[in-house]
Structure 1
Amino acid sequence: MKKSTIEKIIVKFINQEANQSELKALDLWLKNDENKIIFNHFIKTEYLIAVNLADYNVEKAKVSIKNKIEINKKKRRASFVKTISIAASIIILLGVSFFQYTNNNNTIENIATQKDFEEVSNRTILTLNNGKNISLDTDKKYSSNKVKGNSKELLYSSKNIANNTTKELTYNYLTIPRGGEFFVQLSDGTKIWLNSDSKLKYPENFNNGEIRKVELVYGEAYFEVSPSELHHGDAFHVITKNQEVTVLGTHFNIKAYKEDRLISTTLLEGKVKVNNGLNAILLKPNQQSKVFNKTNFIEVLSVDVSHEVAWIKGFFSFKEAPLDEIMKILSRRYNVEVIFESEEIKKYQFTGVLERKTAIKDVLKFFEATSNGDLKYTITDRKIVIK
């Protein structure tokens, strides 16, 4: 069976859209042990987040296929009505757009990487309190009496925090470029992951007896906050342009990009209070608040938190997301400009998971393939035109 054919069948199976003949073909294909390895690798991303990187059970999948075949024998499949949404499409790009099996060592060869597109800059800028900018270059280490790090992370020392009770705080900034990511551990032990096109303001150390404050100037950050009980009860606050989040030792994500019309705060565990200056709400785990820029309203909804923080595990995760929103996220990651020639194509929706190191050309090829010919694109330098 051709690779392109089996790819389409696997995608349909995951989306519960495969017909009886396709299910039979997949069942027959899986009788080959080598194909089981390919199958496992190809669909792994659909389950990575939900099962915390556990291996997908191929035998269980085969049982599911057989059950569906039996059901289809008894019941005619409902017809699929195409709408403006292509929500049935699923992105299964685990570093490849088309998989290749290597027979001599039973491994999957990654045949498409981000290098197929021009490499993006991943040079983070550290701005010190005196205004000096330090470029955290690749393969170079940075060290001072307060912090050590490299091009991927900074770790601040906690040696002086216990005696630091009256000193004036000195602040640093981290500016993450489009296409970059970064990790910083603050002097209190709080861990922060910064996404592409983000900027964080934070003190080099904290004063005992004072609120620990940092500012997400813009962008997206995931926080694992050192509990207040380890710091004499001192709370932790995160400030953004239109809200302030009060934390009591917790894991949460804040998305506050400059071009977005809202700020979203997603709580994984612990407690946070979101305040926009006029209203305040307490979030429970698995809840997300949305603070809209031009209103005083705070919306709270239940969400799949693993979907919201997939980026810190190295994945993009989309759930019925419109194409214009997807391309906005991808443009930050790959540092590209995206132009739509059609307003209608912006509304096309996709659901799925893809690895963040997947080449942008392979992502676009998959969108094109799953849109039934409705989507076309061109790439020139760092400009993508979607037609």
Structure 2
Amino acid sequence: WEPVRRLVCLLPGACVPPATFRALLLRHLDELPTSCAALSSPEARERGRGLLAFLVAGWHASGDAAPAPLALGTLFTEVSALLKRTPQLGLTDLVLYNWRVDAQTKLSYNGDAGGPADVVEQGQEHDHQARLGISCMPKVQPSQRFLCVEEEDWFCRLHVTLASGMGGVVRAINHCAFAKSVTEQVRSLQLLEHAIEALVKVHYAAGIGQPLSRTDVPNIRPALLMQRLHRFLPHAPELEIGPTELRATRVYCATGIDQACMMHVLGVAKGAHAIARFREWQLRDLPTAHREYLEKVLGGVSIREQVEREVGMRKLSVQQLAHLELAHNSCIDMLLRLSTRRWELVCSMFGEETLKKDWEQERQLISEARLKLLIERRAMAQPTDRNSSHHGGTSLPLADNSSP
């Protein structure tokens, strides 16, 4: 696979005008492997698939719509089938499996002082994840660059750090799935709120919607990235989304499965807008483990439905209802903040009008997932309250549903 790696190293310079990458690839086509039989492990297959994805992307970026050479296309399809993924360049190749940090950073965040001192790629070594925080963000580098501009590195750093923060979301979601008592449900929702807030803060650190007090934000031009990178990305006519809108949805949904997981757990209805359609379409490109986890989450009951069942099955005190409602709606508010950060990222690249209507629909669906337990209890109790008012009875107070 060394000839493939050498071609990939030449890709950035050979794809700019006069774009000689196609001629370069055709000259070395007979040096490519004839099959993927030598890729015996999942890690080797992912690496091989990533290299082939870069070659196919470079071919498309260097000319008209002519298909890639048969030998390359066949090899790419073969390794993609082994990994149960689609043969196209996507989020996994661009971000999830396309990064590295130096050995010292890895040791600092994993506490593995006895580990080897080589470069850590793809976020994995010795079967455990590299835990990357905001302070580590500047040290993340793409393994493969397409454009060799700072904006490309910035985009990779942002989304690798967000992917690392997904671990907190997963832990909170798992707590939600097993929460039985009111106390456990409230605690699991609080954990989820804090995990989502951590993702919001990653956006702030990258200069997206940052508070006015922050001065340590990157000096980059986000609009430059997709103006150049879009040539490498495949179009998806089956989605019936325009080219610019498709690029914008790629950016909005570039965090992987986290949006779908959080929306399901919090009981957000699935929309039919462009963002929702792309989010579902993108799943076929993601690693098998990610898709399997999402299927597990989607197969379970949302915490919102759990709470509503709990309220219907047994009488809860006003205080318990208030705690459940506040904890759930605080998660909704935090999810809205995260959605707004994604929208601000899209605006920084494409302007405020691109995808605006679709995002407004998404935001509306998230807002509608708020719980109104106390208001519903009040409505159910009104006839009793009116009757009991002649006997000194008291009514339940209305909930304050304003954003915390």
Tell me which protein shows more strand as a share of its residues.
Answer: 1
Query: Structure 1 length normalisation: TM-score?
Result: 0.22
Tell me which protein shows more helix as a share of its residues.
Answer: 2
Query: Structure 2 length normalisation: TM-score?
Result: 0.21
